[in-house]
């Protein structure tokens, strides 16, 4: 069975409403990256960050997988499907994908503050907020399981290993000029098919690619007949 690897970014979940916070309702316009997405900000005003991500998490929870997520999930059984996503949502899992590696963390999990030790605590969907004073079993304050800017990406090496074993690589909704997508593509074996689904023109500095210049759902639907099990 061929290994089909998807590398997905914000464009994958755009149709589910997740990538449009900045433009649609101004949530991000009230904050700078330095205020809500760095470890320094967490140390300086943790309550503010917790409030922000509690609000954002509840918004994520109202989003549903789009047809693109479901089409990727439908390929299970025909291929050994591996999904590497830069997104914090769990829409790939909801769409039926069983093997999903999250590069930048997961919105519905928490972890201890400090170095990422690989131990995460799922949040209760009925009460998903994290508060000051919420401690791990070790007595350490819990924080969102999110890779803040400037922090190491723990799953990057694992992602590179997955890409290095791909028989087919599909990039959806992320530019090949932006890290880590561009770097991961360089690990793909020479000569394997490389497809890119994105409404904007994409050029790879590494190898030739086939682009479907459409959004995730429409583009993945067009991709399916091109995939050979």
Query: Could you tell me where the DSSP H helices lie in the chain?
Result: 21-24, 33-36, 39-44, 46-61, 67-74, 91-94, 156-164, 181-185, 216-223
Contact 136/112 with Cβ under 8 angstroms?
Answer: yes
Over the Cα atoms of the chain, what is R_g?
Answer: 18
- Note the residue count of the chain: 229
At 150 the pLDDT is 84
Using the predicted structure, report yes or no on whether residue 26 has a pLDDT greater than 60: no
- Are residues 114 and 224 located together in one domain of the fold? no
The one catalytic residue in 104, 131, 145, 203 is 104
Domain span holding position 167: 1-16+66-104+152-229
Same domain, 58 and 71: no
pLDDT at 20 over 50: no
Residues 196 and 130 reside in one and the same domain: no
pLDDT at 211: 95
Q: How many structural domains compose the chain?
A: 2
Q: What is the reported pLDDT for 226?
A: 96
Q: Give the pLDDT of residue 82.
A: 98
Name which of 69-78, 92-101, 122-131, 176-185 the model is least confident about: 176-185
Domain match, 85 and 182 both = yes
Among 146, 173, 199, which residue terminates a domain?
Answer: 146
Same domain, 1 and 32: no
pLDDT confidence of residue 128:
96
Active site residue 104: yes
- Do 76 and 162 lie in a common domain? yes
Closest CA to 7 of 100, 146, 106: 100
DSSP structure class, residue 17: T
Q: For the domain that residue 47 is a member of, what is the CATH number? A: 3.30.1600.10
Q: What is the mean pLDDT of residues 37-49?
A: 93
| 139 and 193, same domain (yes or no) | no
Query: Does residue 149 register a pLDDT over 60?
Result: yes
Instruction: State whether 158 and 218 are in the same domain.
Output: yes
DSSP code at position 213? -
Q: How confident is the model at residue 30 (pLDDT cuts 50, 70, 90)?
A: low
Beta bridge partners of 177: none
Residues 46 and 157 both lie in one domain? no
CB 159 within 8 A of CB 188: no
Co-location of 195 and 85 in the same domain:
yes
pLDDT over 70 at 28, yes or no: no
Answer yes or no: are the C-beta atoms of 148 and 38 closer than 8 Å.
yes
Q: What is the CATH number of the domain that holds 166?
A: 3.40.50.1220
Considering only residues 22 and 170, tell me which one the structure prediction assigns the higher pLDDT.
170
pLDDT given at position 21: 47
Q: Give residue-wise pLDDT tens across range 64-119.
A: 999 999 999 999 999 999 999 999 999 999 999 999 999 999 999 999 998 889 99
Whether 81 and 124 share a structural domain: no
User: What pLDDT, in 10s, does the model give residues 195-220?
Assistant: 999 998 887 766 788 999 999 999 99
Choose the final residue of a domain: 118, 146, 174: 146
**Whether residue 55 is found in the same domain as residue 23:** yes
Per-residue pLDDT at 207: 72
- Tell me what pLDDT residue 19 has: 60
Coil/strand/helix, residue 53: helix
């Amino acid at each position: 069975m061929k290994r089909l690897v998807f590398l997905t970014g914000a464009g994958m979940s755009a149709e589910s409403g997740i990538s449009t916070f900045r433009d649609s309702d101004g949530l991000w316009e009230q904050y700078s990256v330095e205020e809500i997405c760095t470890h320094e900000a967490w140390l300086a005003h943790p309550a503010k960050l917790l409030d922000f991500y509690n609000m954002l998490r509840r918004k994520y929870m109202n989003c549903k997988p789009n047809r693109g997520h479901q089409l990727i999930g439908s390929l299970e059984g025909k291929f050994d499907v591996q999904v590497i996503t830069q997104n914090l949502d769990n829409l790939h899992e909801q769409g039926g994908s069983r093997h999903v590696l999250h590069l930048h963390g997961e919105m519905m999990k928490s972890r201890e503050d400090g170095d990422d030790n690989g131990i995460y605590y799922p949040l209760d969907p009925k009460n998903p907020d994290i508060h000051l004073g919420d401690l791990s079993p070790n007595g350490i304050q819990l924080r969102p399981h999110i890779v803040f800017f400037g922090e190491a990406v723990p799953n990057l090496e694992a992602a590179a290993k997955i890409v290095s074993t791909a028989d087919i690589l599909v990039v959806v909704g992320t530019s090949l000029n932006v890290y880590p997508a561009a770097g991961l593509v360089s690990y793909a074996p020479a000569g394997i098919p490389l497809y890119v689904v994105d409404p904007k023109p994409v050029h790879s500095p590494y190898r030739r690619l086939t682009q479907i210049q459409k959004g995730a759902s429409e583009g993945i639907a067009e991709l399916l007949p091109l995939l050979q099990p």
